[in-house]
Amino acid sequence: MPVDLIADPSATPASAAVSSAARPSAVDAASPAQASVTDGTASDIAPAVIETADGAIVSASRATPAPARLGTTSVEIVTPRIVAETPEQPEVVPLPESFSGTRRERLRGEPSRAPEPASMLTAERLLDPRGSRRIRPEGFWQRLLFEVTFHLVNVGDSAEVRERKALEARIARAFEGGTRFVPVLTRKGGVGKTTVTTLLGMALADVRDDRVIAIDANPDRGTLSERVPKRTRSTVRDLVNHAPSITDYGQLSSHVSRDETRLDVLASDTDPMLSEAFDEDDYNVVADLVARYYSIALTDCGTGIVHSVMRATLQRADSVVIVSGGSVDEARLASETLTWLEANGYGALVRNAIVALNTGTQATNLVKLEEIEAHFRSRVREIVRIPYDPELAAGSVVRFRDLKPFTRESARHLAALVVDGLPTQRER
């Protein structure tokens, strides 16, 4: 009797493969039968139901299951996916705004987000170093080598010339944010205060590209205007009277005298009856006008340090120059000037001060200048010796080009030290 195997959908894969050799005894007792087995996959083969010849239904679950046939079940081996870990990136800290822009952008001239001040446009930054090979060097042997090689060999300037140019670069340092005021003062007359003011002003104006003025604020008839060629009879009193109508530099320049170095000098009143009237308020009027058009303003102060003009001068001062002679009493009075400044709240000016030691006085050869310098070096920033020069001793017009080389060098050294102590930037 033929036997049909019908797959049960609810069966499990374990009972899916049934062999005729493994049927129960009830099936074995039947006549030889041909059984058809519907094979399926491991997931859809169910327990078989057996129908005999007489119509009886025998469940295959009663039979002993046959061993699973080899090759009828596929095994899928699943391996875990290997995901490469991304390394942790370091945190990128943005640069400050003032350093925005690459170096290439700066070299190309592309503007950065932070504006640069005008003082950043220096010659060292803007000039092409390749062009320096065509610039004739200074110095006898350096220039001779440059000429005989048809401008192919340029060893540069001599050491002396390089030192001079470095000094001039210090003097020419640019400022931002208004005028720098530098009073020149002492407590004793006749030690060369006006002479030092003249030398300092000429050394500054001769090198710098901006304007420099020296104001004679001596209420007792100063002589600063007599050290330069006189081109006007105007004085500080005239400038004060005309201050409301002055609106440009051309109008102001009509009140000053100018020498060959481009130093402007504003004279004091020549009438003794009027010079005493120049007071603190008058000086402030002059200083406010000067601050519009000049970068550096020197003030030749009187010998007294307690009058009102001195108070206004020191309140505006960015640095001071103290003048001392070479005698014992002159050095002592200069030191007492420093003491007075410290006692009246100007200690910062004292620490930043420059002492100009005038060695052209009569007692210079009788004292130990090294001891005087050692004393002042303990109190101020620097000391400069001003040598004797016939051009200065005459007490008349000073021509900077006619001074001895050592005198000009001393004046430039004094100017460089003064500029070194002035603030480069500040609010107007």
> Is 127 among the domain residues?
no
246 lies in the same domain as 380: yes
Mean pLDDT of the chain: 78
Instruction: Compute the distance between CA of residue 355 and CA of residue 213 in angstroms, rounded to an integer.
Output: 21
Q: Is 215 helix (H, G, I), strand (E, B) or coil?
A: strand
Residue 314 amino acid letter: L
153 lies in the same domain as 234: no
> Is 367 among the domain residues?
yes
12 lies in the same domain as 149: no
pLDDT for res 405: 94
Specify the pairing of strand 296-300 against strand 180-185.
parallel
37 lies in the same domain as 165: no
180 lies in the same domain as 317: yes
Helix (H) or strand (E) holding 36: strand 35-36
Reported pTM: 0.66
Which of 21-30, 62-71, 92-101, 176-185 bottoms out in mean pLDDT, i.e. has the lowest?
21-30
pLDDT for res 12: 44
Residue 213 reports pLDDT greater than 80: yes
Q: How confident is residue 83, by pLDDT bands cut at 50, 70 and 90?
A: low
Strand partners, 176: 425
From residue 213, alpha-carbon distances to 235, 257, 322 in Å are: 14, 10, 18
216 lies in the same domain as 346: yes
144 lies in the same domain as 207: no
Closest listed residue to residue 30, CA positions, set 67, 4, 8: 4
pLDDT for res 37: 39
Closest listed residue to residue 424, CA positions, set 164, 117, 183: 117
Per residue in 282-315, pLDDT (tens digit) is: 999 999 999 999 999 999 998 777 778 899 999 9
**Range 241-267 average pLDDT:** 95
- Domain containing residue 198: 175-420
Structure-token pair, residue 117: 């001040």
> Is 76 among the domain residues?
no
Phi, psi for 219 (deg, rounded to 5):
-75, -5
Per residue in 173-206, pLDDT (tens digit) is: 999 888 999 999 988 778 889 999 999 999 999 9
> Is 81 among the domain residues?
no
230 lies in the same domain as 335: yes
pLDDT for res 428: 55
Residue 205 amino acid letter: A
Domains of the chain: total: 3
**Range 365-385 average pLDDT:** 93
Cα angle 291, 297, 298; round to 5: 155
Q: Is 299 helix (H, G, I), strand (E, B) or coil?
A: strand
CATH at 318: 3.40.50.300
From residue 306, alpha-carbon distances to 101, 219, 302, 312 in Å are: 54, 12, 10, 11
Which alpha helices (DSSP H) does 149-184 contain, by range? 159-171
Instruction: Look at residues 14, 30, 62 and tell me which one is the last residue of a structural domain.
Output: 62
